[in-house]
Amino acid sequence: MKNYYRIMLGKKSMYAEEAHKGNFIGAGWLPNIDLTNKLPDNWREFNKKYIPVYLEQNPGKTKVSAGLACGMLHTIIKGVLKGDIVLCPEGKGSYFIGEVAGDYEYQKGAAQPHRRAVRWFPHTVARDEMSESLRNSTGS
């Protein structure tokens, strides 16, 4: 069974266009750590290990924001499976929609170094064209 995920590609979708052109979804938290072969199946174990690292790298952030960032990073890398569908706001009121096609890859030096390959569908979907229940589930 396919699962569906809303993935923000950077603050205010600032990396959405780059990700779309590059055929990936990604995340920028913990940018200097290659997480290949360092991913427990359970997000709680991941958070226990990496929340302190996140807080050390981001002074002034709260434990709650660290937990959200680490939880989302784990979801993108490990929780989303090949074949799952991602809906990504493109920043102008529409969504890029694609199917996850690859496993985790680390791209050192990239703004979003933690990546998954995606096959994007050819058309975007405007948020106002979505059903009310889909609009509600994709958030604001």
Asked whether the beta carbons of 77 and 104 are under 8 A apart, the reply is yes
Res. 140 pLDDT band, cuts 50 70 90: low
pLDDT at 11 (0 to 100): 93
Tell me what percent of the chain is helix, strand and coil, each rounded to the nearest 5: 35, 25, 40
Q: What percent of the chain has pLDDT over 70?
A: 99
Spatial separation of the C-alpha atoms in residues 105 and 138, rounded to whole Å: 26
Spatial separation of the C-alpha atoms in residues 50 and 112, rounded to whole Å: 17
Spatial separation of the C-alpha atoms in residues 11 and 79, rounded to whole Å: 21
pLDDT at 20 (0 to 100): 98
pTM: 0.91
pLDDT at 130 (0 to 100): 83
Spatial separation of the C-alpha atoms in residues 111 and 88, rounded to whole Å: 17
Helix and strand numbers (H, E) in the chain are: 4, 6
Can you tell me whether residue 85 is helix, strand or coil? strand
Distances (CA, A) of 115 to 10, 22, 35, 101, 139: 13, 10, 11, 11, 23
Query: For residue range 54-81, what is the model confidence (pLDDT) as tens digits?
Result: 999 999 999 999 999 999 999 999 999 9
pLDDT reading at 18 higher than 90: yes
Say if strands 24-27 and 114-120 run parallel, antiparallel, or are unpaired. antiparallel
pLDDT at 107 (0 to 100): 98
Res. 28 pLDDT band, cuts 50 70 90: very high
Res. 132 pLDDT band, cuts 50 70 90: confident
Mean pLDDT of 97-114: 98
Amino acid in position 11: K
pLDDT at 25 (0 to 100): 98
Average model confidence (pLDDT) across the chain = 95
